[in-house]
Structure 1
Amino acid sequence: WDLARALPSDQRLPRWASCRGGLWIETGHRVIFRLTEEAGQAVSLRARCTDPSTTPKSLAPAGFSVKGLVLADPLGIQLLSGVVPDWWEPRDVVISEGEPDWLTWSTRQRESDEQGPACLGVEAGAWSKQIADRIPDGCRVVIRTHHDEPGERYARQIVTTLQGRCQVFRSRPGEEVSR
């Protein structure tokens, strides 16, 4: 699966691949993630720094908004596209917060194994009713956002948009990426 890419250090970048600190390569934001809109189309990206002491940890393209865009693995992209595979059982969806947690959940199963949860990843402003509407009724949704104030806010937004249609579960503190 093509979940993330690394920018080569000698890559020439467009102007939008920058921030106040310089080009993404110069700031260490070299891991690139595709962002998907509610119809399953990849329409933007986010760059992540591998140095945990760097802030901000992630950057959107300069001059562009990533509001309403989520990280999505191949099964997540199918769901957002309106395709619910006949073979998909159990119908589980994992919604995690941030690129590292999303990547962890998206790679927990082998590529050759079709079964498994659809994995979506959220950040500030990513979740919307339009995205929630693409999750089929009756799915089991596990929310694995962080247990800090922003993560709790994302979880409440997700619960509100799925309530009554899906079985929604919330991870306990410390379980975001563990189980």
Structure 2
Amino acid sequence: MELAPPDRYAHPLSARYVSGDMERIFAPAFRFGTWRRLWLALAEAQRDLGLDIPDDAITQMRDHLDDIDLEAAARYERRFRHDVMAHIHLFGDVAPAARGILHLGATSAFVGDNTDLIQHREALTLVRGRTVGAIRALARFAREHRARPTLACTHFQPAPPTPVGKRATRRIQAV
């Protein structure tokens, strides 16, 4: 299987059944970029609470949220055998002023669990929007065809005529 670009989720079924927007949400670039945003938020919150977090650390972190070298991350991961530690070191390479405060006081669950929640929220927001769009399209179809008769069926047997629009409203109800 060919490697997917970092902004695409790699799975055998994703080429057929996943939208580009959904692929982006579950792609490595989104996941690890979210880790970096969480580390930045953590450092900013710690600074607000009085920890000595240098301004240049915050600036460097903010300037390098999305330039993630996945090959370098893989090398670090082979070395440390830990994905979060790999990305802490990788982020420290591009934000050296933040190296000593990255992930300070946090566990791996901080980035892992919060990123999962963010990805799921983004995915559900996408699904909700597309579901609403499908319902609107079906409602429009139902209005346009509310008087058009079609043969109904019950238990796969012919039944009296029913409006096409009514049949469409049943599809809406199923959604």
- TM-score, shorter chain, exceeding 0.5: no
What band does the TM-score fall into relative to the shorter chain?
Answer: under 0.3
TM-score (structure 2 length as normaliser): 0.21
Is the strand fraction higher in 1 or 2? 1
